[in-house]
A and B are shown apart, each in its own frame.
Chain A
Amino acid sequence: MLFNSYEFLIFFPAIVIMYFLTPFKWRWLLLLAGSCYFYMCWKPEYIVLMMFPSFIDYYVAMKMSATPDMARRKKYLWLSLTTNLGLLFVFKYFNFFNESFRALFESLNVSYAVPVANLLLPVGISFYTFQTLSYTIDVYKGAIQPERHLGKFALFVTFFPQLVAGPIERSSNLLPQLQSLRYKFDAGRVTDGLRLMLWGFFKKVVIADRLAASVNLVYNNPGEYYGLQVVLATIFFAFQIFCDFSGYSDIAIGAAKIFGVNLMKNFDKPYSAQSISEFWKRWHISLSTWFKDYVYIPLGGNRAIKWRWYYNLFITFLISGLWHGANWTFVIWGALHGFYLIFAIISRPYKDALIGLIGLNKRPLALKALQIISTFALVNLGWLFFRANSLADAMLLLKNMFVFAPLASLFDFITPGALAINLMLITILELAHYLEKDKPFMLSLTSKPALIRWPAYVAVTLAILYLSTSAGQQFIYFQF
């Protein structure tokens, strides 16, 4: 079930009402049933695919906690890793590697007969796999105690607000909250949840879906657009993917808040980052911290010789790219970010010297603006690979980006009015980011008088009603 679906409009209020009418001790069961229904609306049989590794993880965690013998614990950990990553490989990566090997063998004139597997990618598999993996790894390390209640553990895996596109929660944050669920109706918390959801819907159905129309036109016809057209479509995609994914996160966090559950922050104004390393502290925080904790640091992190450190960074981002999708475009995207970070480390002394030389260090505002713009430009180059339908398309778009096209050619793929609306929406978004302090924009409004608050809520609701597009798009991160 999609958050932006008609079904969700009925499902969500119904489950919220039932939740507050259900005695505390049975709420886990209601949420578990609701979460299973939410997932099964997509493809009922695939619930088994999610539950099977969950049972293995439950069993493995119990066994690990029962033995202090690290060698035995490691065997159980391997069982969990093999099951989870094995399923992820089969459903998400098998065809990708299979086709890559086929191309390689064919180029060497060697026959290759492994058939293509006709498997549908289970929605959210990368998200729930990583969430349960972090659980078993934490139990293995002794960082947390295992959850002994099978039902509540199943709810930890399936909790519907964050099931299919995150935030990827840590068991240390989510499990304790799901254990009790002893929350009485709190109007303030419910209202905050609704505010976040409203803002999330605005970002998704108004901004992201509107921008998608122009982006799709260019990226699905890469040979037909040049220069500024490609540049503008790529910038639009940067805001589209941000609004799409952070919109989903806002809805997820808001929905969970209504049930009294606090999910982790997933985005923090990523396009105001002054460096790529800062960008990754602000973008998809739940995933980047996951990679830091479970890949980068175990590889040795930055506490190693220089080359090993670079290697650790590069490998982490390469895997992060592959996590997003079984396509070379994502691998290149990940590799590009790994390269950016390594290059930033290597070039830091030269960059500092250059800043001093041209006197930018005496103009902090100009320096900040330059850093934000250059970071945004680098991120956009990555988005070009991320969004392109194939590596060949990405290269063509990259080439076409440097072919001159007059300013008026912009209007070949977007009307002046639509361009004005899109730019206005992006401005509103950035203005909201500017106005928010330590809380998301909608929550920061709570301290304002009703005369400001209410018109803002009404305006956002009306924008959803009047500015949303008919060609509703699925959330981009569902495919991951």
Chain B
Amino acid sequence: MKKFIIKFALFLAIIFTIDLALSRLLDCGRPVDYAAFVDSKKEYDNLEKVDILFIGDSQTADGFVPSVFEEKLGATAFNYGVYQLSPFEGYFLLRDLLGRREQAPKLVVLGTDAQMFHYHVSDGKYSPLFIKNPVNLLSMFYKSSNLGALSATGRKKYLFAGLIKRITTGQAGAEVRREVEKIENGYLLNEKHYADRSQFDCEKDRGFFSAVPVEKQKEYFFKTLAYLQERQIPFVVANLPMHKNFLAGMKAKPAYEEFSAVMAEIESSHGAEIFNKDHALLVNELRDEEFLDGDHLCYPGAKKFSSAFADYLAGAGFGFNSNRNPDPASLALRAAF
């Protein structure tokens, strides 16, 4: 038996060593903007204060321009929206970001979109940015998935991130999602982003998302809300805009109905108000060229939307001047959360 155990341990050690060696390929397999998110986090660490923190997936990353909040509210805003960030990952990202600063932000904005609960658990190319301990992934899989998904997750998130995809899709080099000109308080700015009208159809991501909602994603979104409440940090849930064609298609999908039901549940169980609840805000004002695609804004559209959101915050009584406490009027809103 001793010999068997030694051989078995040796076998596992070989696998582990090869795995570790391959993981050194990690960075070269990452999307080009991976480095931008790494830099962005450094910027977050170095900021004197953060009043508003935006968290969410690519819609959030592209939709909130921090400088608008500086101009309109005098607030230091930071956008750490990450492409393909699932609610599960968002939970760990929030904990990571809040743990990095002594002072909690005065407001956390959780950007939401209709397909956020349909992210496959294994997706997300930026996970190592915020899931420092891969053991956390196990909680995602317990009683919910299978060995194939677990190994695929480990691989996609921690190993060969772009390599396999490059082999299977024929893409050369690291995947280019958004080229970045400069980073402004987390916002990955590129004014040359232009609208791709062919992407206004809501079927553009067909096959990318799970056909049915992923229960763990819902579970972790509620866990995120509970975590914020526990730490008594005010938060707002904000729906990002969609192009009217995309919105019309999306509303016909069961995913939209399911998403609306979850939002209603958030309202009733957490007393939270959902900003842009019916996705009607600016739906006719935003022009085609202000969208990157059907559900992502480009810079001019993001400025317009951010401005409307800043007005909403001001109207709700949020004040972010210097280090003083929030305006009394805002307490009413906070009490609701």
- Which A residues are within 8 Å of any B CB, using their own CB? 2, 4-9, 185, 187, 190-191, 201, 205, 209, 217, 415-418, 421, 454, 457-458, 461-462, 464-473
The answer to whether A4 touches B167 (Cβ under 8 A) is no
The answer to whether B4 touches A458 (Cβ under 8 A) is no
A425 vs chain B, min Cβ distance (A): 13
> What are 18 contact pairs spanning A and B, CB under 8 A?
A6-B145, A6-B146, A8-B147, A190-B4, A415-B168, A418-B168, A458-B15, A464-B151, A465-B155, A465-B159, A466-B160, A468-B155, A470-B121, A470-B123, A471-B120, A471-B148, A472-B145, A472-B152
The answer to whether B149 touches A472 (Cβ under 8 A) is yes
What B residues does A461 contact at CB under 8 A? 11, 15
The answer to whether A415 touches B170 (Cβ under 8 A) is yes
B115 vs chain A, min Cβ distance (A): 17
A467 vs chain B, min Cβ distance (A): 8
The answer to whether A4 touches B18 (Cβ under 8 A) is no
Cβ of B59 within 8 Å of any chain A Cβ, yes or no, is no
CA distance A9 to B146 in the complex (A): 10
Among A2, A5, A462, the one with the most B-chain Cβ atoms within 10 Å of its Cβ is: A5
Which of A6, A187, A417, A458 interacts with B18 by CB under 8 Å? A458
Cβ of B143 within 8 Å of any chain A Cβ, yes or no, is yes
Give the residue name and chain of the B residue nearest to A204 (CB): B148
State which residues 140-158 of B face A: CB under 8 Å. Answer: 141-143, 145-156
CA distance A2 to B149 in the complex (A): 13
Cβ of B135 within 8 Å of any chain A Cβ, yes or no, is no
CA distance A323 to B132 in the complex (A): 49
B63 vs chain A, min Cβ distance (A): 27
A-B contact count (CB 8 A): 94
Evaluate whether A4 and B152 lie within 8 angstroms (CB atoms) in the complex, with A418-B168, A421-B168, A470-B121 already known: no
Which of B11, B150, B168 interacts with A417 by CB under 8 Å? B168
The answer to whether A6 touches B142 (Cβ under 8 A) is yes
Additional 13 contacts, C-beta under 8 A, given A6-B146, A466-B160:
A7-B143, A8-B147, A187-B4, A205-B147, A217-B207, A415-B168, A415-B169, A417-B167, A421-B168, A470-B153, A471-B149, A472-B145, A472-B146
Evaluate whether A6 and B168 lie within 8 angstroms (CB atoms) in the complex, with A190-B4, A465-B154, A468-B152 already known: no
B223 vs chain A, min Cβ distance (A): 20
By secondary structure, the A interface counts as: helix
What A residues does B156 contact at CB under 8 A? 470
- Chain B interface size band reads 35 or more
The answer to whether B120 touches A4 (Cβ under 8 A) is no
The answer to whether B4 touches A205 (Cβ under 8 A) is no
What B residues does A458 contact at CB under 8 A? 11, 14-15, 18
CA distance A321 to B28 in the complex (A): 51
CA distance A458 to B18 in the complex (A): 9
Evaluate whether A421 and B167 lie within 8 angstroms (CB atoms) in the complex, with A470-B153, A471-B120 already known: yes
The answer to whether A4 touches B168 (Cβ under 8 A) is no
Give the residue name and chain of the A residue nearest to B169 (CB): A415
Give the residue name and chain of the A residue nearest to B144 (CB): A6
Cβ of B335 within 8 Å of any chain A Cβ, yes or no, is no
The answer to whether A6 touches B4 (Cβ under 8 A) is no
A8 vs chain B, min Cβ distance (A): 8
A417 vs chain B, min Cβ distance (A): 4
The answer to whether B170 touches A470 (Cβ under 8 A) is no
The answer to whether A466 touches B159 (Cβ under 8 A) is yes
The answer to whether A187 touches B147 (Cβ under 8 A) is no
CA distance A473 to B170 in the complex (A): 25
B200 vs chain A, min Cβ distance (A): 22
Cβ of B252 within 8 Å of any chain A Cβ, yes or no, is no
Evaluate whether A472 and B170 lie within 8 angstroms (CB atoms) in the complex, with A187-B3, A187-B4 already known: no
What B residues does A472 contact at CB under 8 A? 145-149, 152
B329 vs chain A, min Cβ distance (A): 47
The answer to whether B148 touches A470 (Cβ under 8 A) is yes
CA distance A90 to B3 in the complex (A): 52
Cβ of B314 within 8 Å of any chain A Cβ, yes or no, is no
Give the residue name and chain of the A residue nearest to B4 (CB): A187
Evaluate whether A416 and B142 lie within 8 angstroms (CB atoms) in the complex, with A465-B151, A471-B149 already known: no
The 5 closest A-B pairs by CB, nearest first: A470-B122, A472-B148, A472-B146, A470-B152, A187-B4
Cβ of B164 within 8 Å of any chain A Cβ, yes or no, is yes
B22 vs chain A, min Cβ distance (A): 8
The answer to whether A6 touches B15 (Cβ under 8 A) is no
